[in-house]
């Protein structure tokens, strides 16, 4: 990519990103929904799993990643539901912005929303399950960020296509789930390794696997995106 093209690409990403962030900052619709949904989830986990401290620590990774799964699939659908109003999506695909810029901007928005919701949900879960996550804050944040990125990279292109195909909104989370299974396995096992609740204690290996998945999903999404979206 030559320098002017790269600059144009960057500007297109920035314009779409800023538009979405502005809409979100004004309505706060998606983040509020996600945060509340996360809180409800946290209560359900607390009702279901709170036991003695060792048990609580053992269920924490599962609760965290189940939270990421639900919050993530909800958020991915939301970012495009907005584009369906007044057929804004068609306008976006017809604009001179490269398609890849649309994908990049939307993936960034999804990543930000999921990561933001998880930043609220994680302390809440720690509080309700009586576990002290502060010594593990950085590795856990890194694992969750890698997971949120994987989620955004798989979910965003599918959400774009689902909007184009006018698929019912319930189908999207269902389709995303089997595709992000590797993220969930690596995330849960990595967190368990970090918290010391599993035999395996090599957190870095799980993080590497997450990173590899993110890279592969990103490359796949960007390579195929142009041929996937139809006018």
Site for another protein, rule CB under 8 A: 154, 157-158, 161-162, 164-168, 171, 174-175, 177-179, 181-182, 185-186, 189, 200, 205-206, 209, 212-213, 216-217, 220-221, 224, 227-230
How far apart are CB 151 and another protein at their closest, in Å?
A: 13
- Of 21 and 185, the one with the shorter C-beta distance to another protein is 185
- Of 50 and 179, the one with the shorter C-beta distance to another protein is 179
How far apart are CB 59 and another protein at their closest, in Å?
A: 17
Tokens of 187: 């995330």
Tokens of 101: 């810029």
Cα–Cα distance, 42 to 222 (Å, whole number)? 34
How far apart are CB 171 and another protein at their closest, in Å?
A: 6
How far apart are CB 146 and another protein at their closest, in Å?
A: 13
SS3 label, residue 229: coil
- Of 31 and 210, the one with the shorter C-beta distance to another protein is 210
- Of 92 and 121, the one with the shorter C-beta distance to another protein is 92
Look at residues 103, 112, 83 and name the one whose alpha carbon lies nearest to residue 9.
Answer: 103
How far apart are CB 61 and another protein at their closest, in Å?
A: 13
How far apart are CB 50 and another protein at their closest, in Å?
A: 25
Residues 6+ apart with CB under 8 A from 149: 111, 214
- Of 133 and 221, the one with the shorter C-beta distance to another protein is 221
Cα–Cα distance, 193 to 168 (Å, whole number)? 38
State how far the alpha carbon of 1 is from the alpha carbons of 6, 7, 14, in Å: 6, 10, 18
Task: Give 112-171 as a 3 state SS string.
Answer: HHHHHHHHHHHHHHHHHCCCCCHHHHHHHHHHHHHHHHHHHHHHHHHHHHHHHHCCCCCH
- Of 26 and 166, the one with the shorter C-beta distance to another protein is 166
């Amino acid at each position: 990519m030559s320098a002017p093209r790269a600059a144009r690409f960057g500007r297109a990403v920035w314009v779409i990103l800023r538009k979405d962030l502005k809409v979100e900052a004004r309505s706060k619709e998606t983040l509020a929904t996600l945060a509340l949904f996360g809180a409800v989830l946290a209560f359900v986990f607390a009702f279901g799993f709170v036991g003695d401290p060792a048990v609580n620590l053992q269920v924490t990774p599962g609760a965290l990643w189940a939270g990421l799964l639900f919050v993530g699939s909800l958020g991915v659908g939301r970012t495009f539901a907005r584009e369906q109003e007044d057929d804004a999506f068609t306008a976006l695909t017809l604009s001179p912005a490269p398609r890849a810029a649309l994908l990049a901007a939307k993936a960034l928005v999804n990543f930000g929303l999921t990561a933001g919701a998880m930043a609220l949900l994680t302390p809440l879960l720690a509080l309700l399950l009586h576990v002290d996550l502060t010594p593990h804050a950085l590795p856990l944040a890194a694992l969750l960020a890698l997971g949120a990125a994987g989620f955004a990279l798989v979910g965003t292109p599918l959400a774009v296509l689902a909007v184009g195909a006018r698929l019912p909104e319930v189908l999207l989370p269902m389709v995303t789930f089997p595709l992000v299974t590797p993220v969930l396995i690596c995330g849960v096992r990595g967190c368990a390794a970090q918290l010391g609740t599993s035999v395996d204690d090599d957190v870095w290996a799980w993080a590497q696997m997450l990173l590899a998945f993110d890279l592969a999903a990103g490359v796949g999404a960007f390579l195929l995106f142009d041929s996937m979206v139809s006018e």
